[in-house]
C-alpha cells in the first residue's frame, strides 16, 4: 500500500448497482477520501432506485452527513437500458438495507456547479461510476465550473477488450454515447478505466470471507456474494477500480490515447474508436489484479467514523 496522504476531496457520480456499492463502501471506509456527496444517474437501475440505494448505503454506513443529489433520469437523447438481470429489480440484488432517513436534496448538476465554484480550482475530483450524463451536462452547460474540477476518473469503455453490451461497447458508454463523447472531448484531466483493466480485477468466492472485519467489509462481502449469483467462478469488480486508481495509481499502467465514441444508432454505439483529432486522455490498460483485491480488502477494514 502507498503511504497515507491527505484525504482527497471527491464527489461520486453513481448508479448503484452492486459494484457501485462496493466502490462507495471502499471510498467511505478507507480514510483516503473526503466524500463531499453522491450524485445519482440512471443506469444500472432507474433514477429513483439509484437515488434510494445511495441513501440506503449511507444509512448502513452511518454516514448521513454525506449528501445525495438526484441527477439525470435519462441519457441525453436515448432511452435507458437497465441491468436488472445482474443487479436485481432494486439494483442491489435484494440486499436488505435500512430505509433512507432523508430524501435527496436538490438536483445534481446545479449542486456540482456550486461545489466546484466554491472550492479552490483543482481541489475536487469527480469519480464517475455510471453513464456520464451528469458530467456531460456539467461540461456542456457550465464549462467554467467544469474546468475547475481536479481529476475526473471514469469507469467506462473498452479499447482492445470485447464489450459487455455489444461486440465493442461497454455498458456505461453505450447507455449514453453522446455524453461520453462530450466528456472525452472536453480536454479535462481525465483518466478512463476500461474493461481492459476492470475484467482483470476479479474476486473469487474463497476471497469473500477475507473482506470481512468491519461494517464496510461485512456489507461488501454480502454484496459480492449476491453479485456472484449462481454458478459463477469469479466476478470482475468494475467500479471499485476507479477508487483504487485514485489512491493506488501504482497498481495500474497508463497509456495516453486519442479516442472518440461511436454515437451512431447502430449496434456499436458507445464503442471507443481511435481518432487522431481527439484530445489525448489517460487510459488504464494494465493492472496488478491481485494487488488491487488486497488494496480493496485493506481499505474496507480501516476504522469507521459514525456520523448518523
Active site residues: 238
Which three-class secondary structure state does DSSP give residue 19? helix
Q: Max Cα separation, the chain? A: 50
CA 207, distance to chain mean position in Å, is: 22
The answer to whether the bond into 257 is cis (omega within 30° of 0) is: no
What residues contact residue 120 under an 8 Å CB cut-off, 6+ apart?
A: none
Q: Where are the alpha helices (DSSP H) in 94-142?
A: 108-118, 133-141
**Residue 33 pairs with which residues in a beta bridge?**
8
- Residue 135 to residue 25: CA distance in whole angstroms: 22
Of 135, 131, 134, nearest to 269 by C-alpha is 131
Residue with cell 469507469: 155
Of 304, 293, 239, nearest to 23 by C-alpha is 239
Residue with cell 456520523: 307
- Residue 69 to residue 72: CA distance in whole angstroms: 10
Query: What does the DSSP assignment read for 179-203?
Result: HHHHHHTS--SEEEE-HHHHTTSEE
DSSP conformational letter for 119: S
Amino acid at each position: 500500500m502507498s503511504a497515507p496522504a491527505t484525504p482527497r476531496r471527491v464527489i461520486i457520480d453513481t448508479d448503484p448497482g452492486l459494484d457501485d456499492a462496493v466502490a462507495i463502501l471502499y471510498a467511505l471506509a478507507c480514510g483516503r477520501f473526503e466524500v463531499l456527496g453522491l450524485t445519482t444517474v440512471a443506469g444500472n437501475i432507474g433514477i429513483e432506485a439509484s437515488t434510494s440505494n445511495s441513501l440506503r448505503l449511507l444509512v448502513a454506513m452511518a454516514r448521513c452527513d454525506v449528501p445525495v443529489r438526484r441527477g439525470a433520469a435519462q441519457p441525453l437523447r436515448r432511452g435507458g437500458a437497465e441491468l436488472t438481470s445482474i443487479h436485481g429489480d432494486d439494483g442491489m440484488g435484494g440486499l436488505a438495507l435500512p430505509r433512507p432517513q432523508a430524501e435527496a436534496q436538490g438536483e445534481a448538476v446545479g449542486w456540482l456547479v456550486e461545489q466546484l465554484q466554491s472550492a479552490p480550482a483543482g481541489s475536487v475530483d469527480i469519480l464517475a461510476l455510471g453513464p456520464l450524463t451528469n458530467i456531460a451536462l456539467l461540461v456542456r452547460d457550465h464549462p467554467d465550473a467544469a474546468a475547475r474540477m481536479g481529476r475526473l476518473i471514469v469507469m467506462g469503455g473498452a479499447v482492445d477488450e470485447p464489450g459487455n453490451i455489444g461486440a465493442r461497447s461497454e455498458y456505461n458508454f453505450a447507455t449514453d454515447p453522446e455524453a461520453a463523447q462530450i466528456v472525452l472531448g472536453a480536454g479535462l484531466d481525465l483518466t478512463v478505466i476500461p474493461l481492459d483493466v476492470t475484467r482483470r480485477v476479479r474476486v473469487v468466492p474463497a476471497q469473500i470471507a477475507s473482506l470481512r472485519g468491519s461494517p464496510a467489509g461485512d456489507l461488501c462481502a454480502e454484496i459480492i456474494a449476491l453479485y456472484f449469483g449462481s454458478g459463477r467462478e469469479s466476478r470482475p469488480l468494475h467500479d471499485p477500480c476507479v477508487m483504487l486508481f485514485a489512491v493506488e495509481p501504482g497498481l495500474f499502467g497508463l497509456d495516453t490515447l486519442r479516442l472518440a465514441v461511436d454515437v451512431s444508432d447502430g449496434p456499436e454505439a458507445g464503442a471507443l474508436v481511435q481518432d487522431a483529432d481527439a484530445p489525448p486522455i489517460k487510459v488504464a490498460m494494465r493492472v496488478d489484479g491481485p494487488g488491487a483485491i488486497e488494496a480493496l480488502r485493506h481499505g474496507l477494514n480501516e476504522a469507521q467514523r459514525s456520523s448518523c
